[in-house]
Structure 1
Amino acid sequence: MVKRILHEIKEYKAAAFLTPFFMILEVAMEMYILRLVGDLVSEGVEKGDLSAIYKIGAMMLISAAVGLFGGIMGAVFGSKASAGLAKNLRKSMFENIQTFSFENIDKFSTAGLVTRLTTDVTNIQNAFIMILRMGFRAPVTVISAMILSFTISPKIASIFLVAMILLLIVMAFVMTKARPLFDTLFKKYDALNASVQENITGMRVVKAYVREDYEKSKFKEGSGGIYNFATAAEKMVVFTMPFMTSVVYTCIVLISWFGAKFIVIDKTLETGDLLSLYGYCMSMLMSLMFFAMIFIMVTMSIASMQRIYEVLEEKTAITNGDDPIYEVPDGSIQFKDVVFGYNKTAEKPVLDHINLEIKSGETIGILGGTGSAKTTLVSMISRLYDVDEGQVLIGGHNVKDYDVETVRNQVSVVLQNNVLFSGTIAENLRWGDKEASDEDIKRAARLACADEFIEKFPDGYNTHIEQGGTNVSGGQRQRLCIARALLKKPKILILDDSTSAVDTATDTSIRRAFREEIPGTTKLIIAQRISSVMDSDRIIVMDDGKIDDFGTHEELLARNEIYRDIYQQQTGAGSGDFDKEDQEGGADIG
């Protein structure tokens, strides 16, 4: 996991290597200055040697300047390396997310992915710069101070050694206890972000149903959960701070006690050496306190690293074969004994042994109750999901044999939830074809019956669309999405209940335009209104993941109970006429 994360340093490797080099240079100068302080007292002050004071003072100034340079350069390169790592992590994660199939996306919530791209990456960035700077500085300081202390007084240096061992044991213990709390904390962040996102995108509904107080209460509960776990985790980690402070003061007292004894009674230590030992003690223990800060950041970042690693290593479930096909011959569609389920362990599949054949250029209506798997059926065509069993063929070839981009460019889908992006109307339509001319855009808008309202805007096709298309009506948004899909000039066009927000007259005009202007395109229209599909060449009736019937409007009206019930409910037609028809038919046969 760590190796995969650090792989993203890439072009910032030099900065990452130079940071610890300059930090070690800074430490070396600090340790040398502490040694010079002792020499200044022993060789200069106590002996009254003014030339020695000048000489040692000059060396201290030079050492301080070199150390300052090392610290500044370490900060510069450390910031560059950590910010670069964060940039590359976000880029790699985002690029990998773009390859995800719907099956992959289903594993991660939208809020969870946003948290990983923001909060989790920031945690790693902060931890990385701490490791590059303090992570190298602290151990080198401790080791250098320990070695120099032993050269002056092994007995006093032993105090440092015992203190350091105690601190390391405590920090290791706290880390093992704190990490599970941070894991849970980030899941709480995901849940809170999901709640906020849901509230903001559904603000109109919240206000329409006067649910502000409920949403406030839900947010307060989620925020409170984060507070509780963050407090528990921080309490666990902060416990090390008073312990470390106690160790620092204990060391100072012991050094003072034994140092005074060695100077006054035993005559084995000089005053300058004691000053150096004080300096080494403070440097060593302060470095350990910095190390505790690193330990806090690393504890948090381990949980973040795991979450980012999951996204980076997630492999798309839908890939190209060894020798993919890059051209779709026509818009014919076949389903051969197709079985599919979102949950592979479920007892019953969502699509249950589907067999279907559609000719190129046909207009096919798809009708069925909620949960009958209409949307799932058409998702198989553009490989938004792959079948579990059986085959889906386009143009006589298995969709798995095609290049994925080729299939999706030739199968244009207008989804049930229409999405527009911030930008002009023209920019949104050019999602269908970035090279489309102004005339192409206008033609697509005309086919989708969108030109009539676009031209009424003061800026026409340069009218700005807010994120999500919030400044246009639901029907206008649907027509813009249809126009965008038509710009791809697909061989197969799928409308997933995409005219539900337009009036019946506009719906009829759109279908007439399709029939007259793009006769060679295979059109699949999922609808709740029977008027939207009744003039299709044939109509699929879905029921509980199966094809209940497939035929023309007249054939289904005569023989299919589900279709007949929907027709009667939506048109108000009485059953008496059908009974009469059946009786007349029976008399003719007899």
Structure 2
Amino acid sequence: MLKLFRYMRPYRTAVLLVLLFTFFQCLSDLYLPTLMADIVDKGITLGNVPYIWRVGGVMLLVASGGMVCAIVASYLASKAASGFGRIVRGRVFSHVENFTLQEFDKIGTASLITRTTNDITQVQQVTIMILRMMAIAPMMCIGGIVMAISRDPGLTTVLLAVLPILALAIFLIAKQGIPLFKAIQVKIDTLSRVVRENLTGIRVIRSFNRAAHETVRFNDANEDLTATSIKVNKIMGAMMPVMMLVMNFATIAIVWFGAHRIDDAHMKVGDLMAFLQYAMMIMFSLIMLSVMFVMIPRAQASAVRINEVLHMQPDIHDPKEPGKPGLQKAAVEFQDVTFFYPGAEEPAVSNLSFRTGPGEVTAIIGGTGSGKSTLISLIPRFYDVTSGRILVNGTDIREMRQEELRQRIGFVPQKALLFTGSIADNIRYGKEDATDEEIRHAAKVAQAADFIEAMEGAYDAEISQGGSNVSGGQKQRLSIARALVRRPEIYIFDDSFSALDFKTDARLRAALREETGEATVLIVAQRVSTVMDADRIIVLDEGRIAGMGTHEELMNTSEVYREIVTSQLSEEEIA
């Protein structure tokens, strides 16, 4: 957790002021029992009423000053801890934004969400307690011991017997609880994943009547988390009764031995009362430390998970001296490219070599699992090739800055994703400074203008979370418009026409041909009708190129392509 505290640097002044005001609060608390002892011994015992009023007024001022210091210290601690949490949350989010898909796969989306929210909140809450309790408890403990000895050194032997017992109890209880706190965070990840899958997959769950099954999955994860939480709370719950039991026995012992010392004239009544209060301060400071021992292990477990994210370096990074792409516009070339997914024994794609240039449409077709989407994902460097090279305008993409590379690409993913906001905002996501005219033109080319203008508010109509208020085909057309408004050099369509009817598909392809005439276009598709007119068709089979050429050429040379065509088109359509 100490590694995370480097993000507290902007709040160093606030932390120092917290320590300063906490010190004055501690002085105030330590001085009050002494004043009370003076009132008893010099005022009440001697019947000196003016002295009682005078010292009582001083006590009121000291207590008020301590209260003000406590309020200011609490405010500054909360401000510093909240700012610290904001900085860490921002750092984690911005760092995760640089992750490749490989890092997302390794940690998991549900775990990343938990680490960015729950784990940082845990650390933030404990930081507030550290700034307050961890500062005041040692001061109170040491100051209490000093003041108690000054009142009666002989009676401090009771404290010497009690404090080791308290410390041992705290150690044994914390030792049992620390491993369980680490387990709790992992179980929270599991519960978050189950909930996330349930909420995002609610349509599938209901369509297959699997609600009962999902309820069982949730209950299992929930009960597992609950059982561990109950276990750790039982362990930690034993701490307070043990503390109070020891404190009460200590109080009895102090009163018992103190009474004898008063009877022997070695101690005054006021001194015994002050000593008793100092003893309570010492033991309460230990209880405060015990509470910290309860909270710190869980925060430490959270801090380890946060640091794991912050220390994880993306496998894909920008070169120190990025190369400059050649003057040739929008050319993409694969040179003997092979790629393995992490941990895989077989390559997802192997020995891919082809070239496509501006004004050309290259279509990629093949069976399920043939590597079509993998091939497409390598161009924007979502993953890096295992061997071989991918060139854009004659430059290896690994020698280009990722931002510069992706600025040249308009990418339409296989699963259309829309963001909460207006339709215009979603299209403008492809180009921040796009004008209204550019947005309308992109929507028109994407065959989305008609349904947009039919919606209430047209381009200002709101898209609900996940785009649930538009159909699958409408999502795809808006995603295509988002890529078109960017006007990039390279267009990548990853099975982006699957939800469109044949008529809309045909109109869209015709409009795209005119719109993207000077760009390089790569299309992944399942439909033969979508790829028949392409300048080049690449047929993939088990990650390898099984054929490449035009539709007519492949019908004569590629058995795999002929099988795909005959499975989709009738003999009349093929002819």
State the TM bucket, normalised to the shorter chain.
Answer: over 0.9
1:277 aligns with 2:269: no
1:116 aligns with 2:115: yes
Counterpart-to-counterpart distance in 1, 2:133 and 2:156: 23
Deviations 1:435-466 (Å, cap 9, x if unpaired)?
Answer: 11122112111211111211222321111111
Equivalence map 1:319-334=2 (5 Å)? 319-325=317-323, 329=327, 330-334=329-333
CA contact (8 A) 1:262 1:269 kept: yes
Q: Which ranges of structure 1 fall in alignment gaps of 5 or more residues?
A: 579-590
CA contact (8 A) 2:331 2:392 kept: yes
1:240 aligns with 2:252: no
Query: One-letter code of the match for 2:106?
Result: K
Structure-1-length-normalised TM-score: 0.94
Equivalence map 1:177-256=2 (5 Å)? 177-256=176-255
Counterpart-to-counterpart distance in 2, 1:222 and 1:213: 14
Equivalence map 1:11-50=2 (5 Å)? 11-50=10-49
* 1:104 CA drift (Å): 2.0
* 1:518 CA drift (Å): 1.5
* Structure 2 residue aligned with 1:258: 257
Deviations 1:169-197 (Å, cap 9, x if unpaired)?
Answer: 33233333322211111111111111112
Cα distance change of structure 1 residues 121 and 336 upon mapping to structure 2, 3 Å threshold: same
Query: One-letter code of the match for 1:293?
Result: V
Counterpart-to-counterpart distance in 2, 1:339 and 1:35: 80
Equivalence map 1:441-520=2 (5 Å)? 441-520=439-518
* Structure 2 residue aligned with 1:171: 170
Deviations 1:235-279 (Å, cap 9, x if unpaired)?
Answer: 222222221111101101110111111111x32111111101110
* Structure 1 residue aligned with 2:357: 359
Cα distance change of structure 1 residues 65 and 504 upon mapping to structure 2, 3 Å threshold: same
Provide the aligned C-alpha RMSD in A. Answer: 1.8
Query: One-letter code of the match for 1:270?
Result: K
Query: One-letter code of the match for 1:331?
Result: A
**Paired residue secondary structure (2:107):** coil
CA contact (8 A) 2:547 2:557 kept: no
Counterpart-to-counterpart distance in 2, 1:437 and 1:237: 60
Which stretch of structure 1 is more off in the superposition, 353-362 or 95-104?
353-362
* 1:326 CA drift (Å): 6.1
Counterpart-to-counterpart distance in 2, 1:534 and 1:162: 90
CA contact (8 A) 1:568 1:574 kept: no
* Structure 2 residue aligned with 1:2: 2
1:407 aligns with 2:405: yes
Cα distance change of structure 1 residues 399 and 149 upon mapping to structure 2, 3 Å threshold: same
Q: Which among 413, 434, 437 is matched to residue 435 of structure 2?
A: 437
1:380 aligns with 2:378: yes
Query: One-letter code of the match for 1:283?
Result: M
* Structure 2 residue aligned with 1:582: none
**Paired residue secondary structure (2:276):** helix
**Paired residue secondary structure (1:106):** helix
Counterpart-to-counterpart distance in 2, 1:326 and 1:86: 40
* 1:408 CA drift (Å): 0.6
Query: One-letter code of the match for 2:363?
Result: G
**Paired residue secondary structure (2:37):** helix
* Structure 1 residue aligned with 2:314: 316
Which stretch of structure 1 is more off in the superposition, 506-515 or 173-182?
173-182
CA contact (8 A) 1:363 1:537 kept: yes
Equivalence map 1:61-72=2 (5 Å)? 61-72=60-71
Q: Which ranges of structure 2 fall in alignment gaps of 5 or more residues?
A: none
Counterpart-to-counterpart distance in 2, 1:397 and 1:161: 75
* Structure 2 residue aligned with 1:289: 287
CA contact (8 A) 2:81 2:127 kept: yes
Deviations 1:209-237 (Å, cap 9, x if unpaired)?
Answer: 22222222221111111101111121222
Query: One-letter code of the match for 2:70?
Result: G
Deviations 1:20-74 (Å, cap 9, x if unpaired)?
Answer: 2212211111110011111211122222233332332222112111111111111
Aligned residues: 574
Structure-2-length-normalised TM-score: 0.96
Cα distance change of structure 1 residues 468 and 124 upon mapping to structure 2, 3 Å threshold: same
Which stretch of structure 1 is more off in the superposition, 108-117 or 496-505?
108-117
* 1:325 CA drift (Å): 4.2
Counterpart-to-counterpart distance in 2, 1:556 and 1:487: 34
Counterpart-to-counterpart distance in 2, 1:175 and 1:130: 17
CA contact (8 A) 1:362 1:522 kept: yes
CA contact (8 A) 1:145 1:284 kept: yes
